[in-house]
Chains A and B, each alone.
Chain A
Amino acid sequence: MFHNTKCDCGHQNPTGTTLCESCGKPLIDDDGSDLLEMRYDGMARRSQKSNPSILDKVWNFFSSVKIAVYIILVTLVASAVGTIYPQENTFLDMDPAQYYEQNYGTLGTIYYKLGFSHTFNSWWFITLLFMIGTSLVICSLDRVLPLYKALSKQQIRKHENFLTRQKVTYTGPLPEQAEAEAWTSLMASLLRKKHYRVHTDGTALLAEKYRFSRWGPYINHIGLIIFLLGVLMRSIPGWHMDQYMGLLEGETKQIPHTSYYIKNEKFNLELYEDKDLPESIKEKGQIVPKTYETQAVLYHCTANCDDNAAEPVLEEVHRADILVNHPLDYKGLQAYQFDYKSSPMLISVKPTLSNPRTGESFGSFDLPMNNPKDEYVVGPYKLKLKGYFPDFGLDDKGQPISKSNEPKAPAFIFNITGPNLAASGEPYMYFPRQIDKEAYSQDQINGAIAQKLNIAVGSMEGVQFAQYTTYLNIRVDKAMPYIWVGAAIFMIGVIMGFYWQHRRIWLRIDDNKLTLGAHTNKNWFGLRNEVAAAMAKNAIDISPKLLDKGGKQE
């Protein structure tokens, strides 16, 4: 059964059209006097087809603004839940399975099991964002295409019913001695002065201005889509990294998941002097840092990068001083100064091997606290490293142990071979720190060999010391430019839609009767004023209020 969509004016409209595309006559409820629904100028939208196929049903789902609002609300609630407990990706080195249960009990376990511990990377959250994106695309397409069609081919002469059922309308006789066509052309020039684009057709007129503002919402949706795509692009491998590293002065570490290595060459800290501090802080004895920076070196691994057995071969690619808010930046890889802590640690010493009785020196050697060599040759002597305790101590049974993995109290045990010593070598225990040497009575431990040989650091020369550990935030964010572009386009769309309004004025004169209708998307007050002002200059004096929803003559 065919539904007749042919208008009185002769134009054939697609199914679902509510106002005739040609003359504007209302196709449904044509006897009523209610205000017309002017959305999209009454054009048929894709989502309003009858007999929807599966494809249409999916389209209809995503083109619904109501559904979009629900999706956004669900995303909002989910985001809020994701902020209740710290998220997994903020952990430096903790097992999530234990963390939530240990710290937050049952609620924590539920939180973890439901997947909220990684809310913002979970598949369902990304799906929600993705649905928002799809909805943006489909909602916009569903509406912008018919709107564009409607606005690009507008008829000048509209049906009287169309004009009288507008929100701004006037019906009344022409002024005395006014001639229809002359009156219309005067109206046209008056409106042109107000920046309207006017088209006339005999005694009918269409004046329109600022149509571009109607595209504002669609432009800002495009901006949002680009923004969302930018956010989703962060999932591309290599596009996003946000991790933290702690480096002792002099230490070089690999940046995880990359082939780059970073070295903390030196950390400089400058404190405010007492004279610059307020009393309250001086009293508490607090220290206040003035500036601190890391002199960093970035290396790229060229060989042996994944080999556990061999040392990686590094090539220096960049050097920078990292200050707070002034990161190291190399091809998008950034290292920000995040934090520091005081961590005095011996790095290496250069002890001398000598004869304690004669004072004869045999030479010196570089002894690092990390990865010392297996053997050192000093003069005629060979020092073979048999044992090393980075943090020397004695357990409850009096046996030597290392209390930690850091060189806080290093102790080396050498087996020395050479002149005047046993053929199989003699053991020698060496404590680089004077305080340990005394505490553990190094000379007593060594016994007889202490009379023949002495390993000691003569002066502070050759002693390398680290004072600080620097904490850096290593970041990569290749998607940022796209996100900025999306945000900029969004702003442009907002400004377009906000600061200008699309206004249209139609009028026709039939037998000395003037029928006028006008429409805008916002600021009806301004529109009425403008219409009344133009009419006044054309010898029809009415107050703007009269134009509102009806122009019944008093």
Chain B
Amino acid sequence: MGARKKWVQMTIFAIVLVIGVFTIMTNLSASDSKKYPQVGDKAPDFSLVGLDGKTHKLSDYKGKPVLVNFWGTFCPPCKEEMPDLQKQYDKWGKDIVFLEVNVDKNKVTVQGFMDQYSLNLPVLLDAKEEVRKMYGVMDYPTTFFINPDGKVEVKKIGQMTESFIDQTISQMAALKKS
């Protein structure tokens, strides 16, 4: 009689434990997905079509530092920092990957902008704003400096000066070598 009772006790505890672990696990994973990447977090992978017509994934560039800049043609500070970004791209383009994630609704607007200001930075089109939402970008421009391991090294909200871009990239490049 006592043995049977013990068996019942253990079964009840086992069921309770299983449900407990399940609920806690699902909650841990659910809350993770809501978190936007901050400095030190892994940069979420994404896949977008570029102005060049090809599909680009963030994971394509693993092993290299990546600069992800969220912008729009309608954003004056973005326009201001574009020439600086272009100069930095000319300087560092071989070592660092530049990804300009654009949120304009129309491709022709972006192409026109790039032609108007003689820019040739790589542009990725996020017209549906899926990647913007994934990264929790609220203001433009917002820039993520991602190190070769895929983690966010620096997150800068707002317009950057050329020296800021240069310094941050230099620091990241130094890291890569070490």
* Chain A interfacial positions (CB closer than 8 Å to B): 46, 55, 58-59, 88-89, 93-98, 118, 121-123, 126-127, 130, 134, 137-138, 141, 229, 232, 235-237, 254, 308-309, 370-372, 374, 385-391, 395, 399-405, 413
Q: CB-CB < 8 A to B23: which residues of A? A: 126, 130, 232, 235
| B105 engages A126 (CB within 8 Å) | no
B9 within 8 A of A: yes
**Contacts A122-B27, A232-B23, A235-B27 hold; do A370 and B34 have CB atoms under 8 A apart?**
no
Rounded to whole Å, the gap between the CB of B53 and the closest CB of chain A is 8
For the complex of A and B, the 4 pairs showing the least CB-CB separation, nearest first, are A387-B112, A235-B26, A95-B136, A402-B74
The answer, yes or no, to whether B47 is at the interface (CB within 8 Å) is yes
Assess A95 versus B72: contact at CB under 8 Å? Given A370-B106, A390-B105.
no
Could you tell me the distance in whole angstroms from the C-beta of B92 to the nearest C-beta in chain A? Answer: 27
Chain A residues with CB under 8 A of B115? 386-387
B interface residues, tally (CB under 8 Å) = 42
17 contacts between A and B (CB under 8 A): A55-B13, A59-B9, A122-B27, A123-B27, A126-B27, A130-B23, A137-B16, A308-B48, A308-B55, A371-B105, A385-B108, A386-B112, A387-B109, A387-B115, A388-B109, A401-B74, A403-B74
Does A372 lie within 8 Å of B106, measured CB to CB? yes
Which residues in B have their C-beta under 8 angstroms from that of A236?
A: 26
CB distance from B3 to the nearest CB of A (A): 13
A371 touches B106 (CB 8 A): yes
Are A405 and B103 in contact, CB atoms less than 8 angstroms apart?
Answer: yes
B4 contacts the other chain (CB 8 A): no
| Minimum CB–CB distance for A425 against chain B, Å | 15
Residue in B closest to A370 when the chains form the complex, CB atoms = B105
In the complex, chain B residues whose CB is within 8 Å of the CB of A94: 138
- Tell me, in angstroms, the Cα distance from A118 to B106 when the chains sit together: 36
Please indicate the chain B residues that have their CB under 8 angstroms from the CB of A138 in the complex. Answer: 12
Contact: B108 with A308, CB < 8 Å?
Answer: no
Within 8 A of A (CB), among B46-84: 47-49, 55, 72-74, 76, 79
Q: Which residues of B contact A399 (CB under 8 A)?
A: 116
Give A306 Cβ to nearest chain B Cβ, in Å. Answer: 9
Whether A390 contacts B24 by the Cβ 8 Å rule is: no
Q: How far is the CA of A385 from the CA of B104 in the complex (A)?
A: 16
Which residues of B sit under 8 angstroms from A97, Cβ to Cβ? 36, 38, 136
Q: Roughly how many angstroms separate A229 CA and B18 CA in the complex, as a whole number?
A: 13
Q: In angstroms, how far is the closest chain B Cβ from the Cβ of A511?
A: 40
**Bound complex: CA A127 to CA B108 (Å):** 52
Report Cα–Cα, A521/B76, bound state, in Å: 77
Q: Which of B22, B55, B73, B115 gathers most chain A CB within 10 Å?
A: B73
Task: Using A121-B27, A126-B24, A134-B16 as known contacts, say yes or no to A372 and B108 having CB atoms under 8 A apart.
Answer: yes
Complex CA gap A57/B99 in Å reads 59
Complex Cα distance, B73 from A254, in Å, reads 24
* Nearest residue, chain B, Cβ from A309: B49
- A370-B49 Cα distance, complex, nearest whole Å: 18
Write the nearest CB–CB distance from B77 to chain A, whole angstroms.
12
A125 to B110, CA, bound (A): 47
Docked CA distance A399–B80 (Å): 13
Q: Which residues from chain A contact B24 at a C-beta distance below 8 Å?
A: 123, 126-127, 130
List residues of chain B with CB within 8 A of the CB of A229.
19
Known: A374-B108, A401-B76. 13 other contacts (CB 8 A): A59-B13, A94-B138, A96-B36, A98-B138, A127-B20, A235-B23, A235-B30, A308-B48, A390-B106, A390-B109, A395-B76, A399-B116, A405-B104
Specify which chain A residues have a CB less than 8 angstroms from the CB of B76 in the assembled complex.
Answer: 395, 401
Interface centre among A127, A308, A401 (most CB of B within 10 A): A308
